[in-house]
Structures are given as C-alpha cells and as structure tokens.
C-alpha cells in the first residue's frame, strides 16, 4: 500500500493509532512509518501521550460534569480545595491525596465520582501506620468507612514508633492515601488550582 500524508493523518491523527500499529496494518517497518511521519511533517506524540492512548484506547475513562447547583458548586470547591491543600501535585501521573481524617477522603471520593464519573472500584489506597497501631484493625476501619475492599489496598507501610506523642489521637487509624492513576485527570486538577 502506498503511504500518503492523507493516509497517515487518518491513521495517526484521527484514529490515534501508534506508529507500531500503523506498521503492522500497512505491513511496513516502524522506522519506515516514522520516516514518512517526519517527511510529511506530522508531529509525533510525546511518549507519555502515546502510552496514555495505549492504555485508554476508547478515550478518557472519565468525563467532566459541571456543577449544576449551589450544592454541587460547594462540593466542587471543596474537592479542588482538598486537592490543593492535601494532594500530591509533584507526581505527574497520579491523582494522590492522603489524610488521617476519613471524612476528607470521603468528600474527595464523592468529588471524583460526581464530577468525573470515577468508579470507586478504580481507586487504590495505601495505609501508613506507626508500629504501635494494629494493622488489621486499621485496614478494616478504612475499608468499612470508605466502602472499599481489600484488593484496592496496596501493602500497608508500617513505620517504627518513636516516643509516644499526640499523633495517637490524630491518627488512631493511620494515614490513608488515595491513588487514581490518570495523567490527564491529574493535569486537569492541577490546572484548576489557583496560581
């Protein structure tokens, strides 16, 4: 099959196929497809975008739903505020937020579900405890309160306790971190934050 700019635009830009997928479809080498992309001045996607497309071939696994009323607007503001104050912005690929207060995570989960259509089952969690706290009791507490199951938990991190302090009252069940691995959603949240 003859390689044309129109054909590559259709496959690479419109259908979002990778150079490797196009090479297989057209029975060409990957380097040959890359040569023609360059020759026709078709800008290659960054690797991060290519990987994102490979893992999300049907498009984004979320959709943005705008607030419809005052109650929605308050929840949206709370969600953005929580991410601003408690979220990890340094990680470029994952939405992360951690806290010792279960209600903070409940509100953030509600925010993700309502405005981005995130399924609670897609979320992952990791518990961080001091060694003088009971791991099983803490895990059960968080699973019950957040309505999640054991397979959503990464391995609990246990840190050796130092001197007893006031942390016991503040983090009786440790600190739970919520993870949602999606670069695009992470970028949307970061771009929404006040500058």
Which pLDDT score, from 0 to 100, does residue 48 have? 66
Edge-to-edge strands, sheet with 157-159: 94-99, 175-181, 124-130, 157-159
The burial class, CB within 10 Å (0-12 / 13-18 / 19+), for 83 is: buried
Work out the pLDDT band at 21, boundaries 50, 70, 90.
confident
Q: Closest Cα to residue 28, out of 13, 40, 18?
A: 18
pLDDT by residue (tens digit) across 26-85?
988 989 888 988 989 998 887 767 766 776 677 766 777 888 999 999 999 999 999 999
Mean pLDDT over residues 97-105, rounded? 96
Q: Which residue has the tokens 């699973």?
A: 143
Judged against a pLDDT cut of 90, whether residue 175 lies above it is answered with: yes
Query: The pTM is what?
Result: 0.72
User: Distances from the Cα of 114 to the Cαs of 6, 98, 131, 137, in angstroms?
Assistant: 40, 20, 36, 30
Which pLDDT score, from 0 to 100, does residue 47 have? 72
Least confident range of 107-111, 122-126, 161-165, 171-175: 161-165
Q: Closest Cα to residue 179, out of 100, 118, 103?
A: 118
């Amino acid at each position: 099959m003859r390689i044309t700019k129109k054909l590559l635009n259709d496959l690479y830009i419109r259908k979002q196929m990778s150079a490797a997928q196009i090479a297989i479809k057209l029975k060409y080498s990957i380097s040959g497809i890359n040569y023609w992309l360059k020759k026709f001045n078709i800008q290659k996607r960054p690797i991060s975008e290519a990987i994102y497309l490979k893992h999300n071939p049907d498009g984004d696994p979320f959709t943005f739903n705008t607030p419809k009323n005052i109650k929605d607007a308050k929840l949206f503001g709370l969600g953005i505020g929580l991410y601003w104050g408690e979220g990890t912005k340094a990680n470029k690929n994952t939405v992360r937020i951690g806290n010792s207060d279960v209600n903070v995570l409940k509100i953030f989960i509600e925010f993700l579900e309502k405005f981005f259509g995130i399924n609670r089952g897609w979320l992952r969690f990791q518990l961080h405890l001091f060694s003088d706290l009971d791991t099983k009791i803490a895990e059960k507490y968080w699973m019950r309160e957040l309505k999640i199951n054991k397979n959503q938990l990464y391995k609990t991190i246990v840190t050796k306790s130092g001197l007893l302090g006031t942390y016991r009252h503040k983090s009786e069940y440790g600190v739970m971190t919520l993870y949602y691995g999606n670069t695009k959603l992470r970028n949307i949240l970061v771009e929404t934050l006040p500058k």
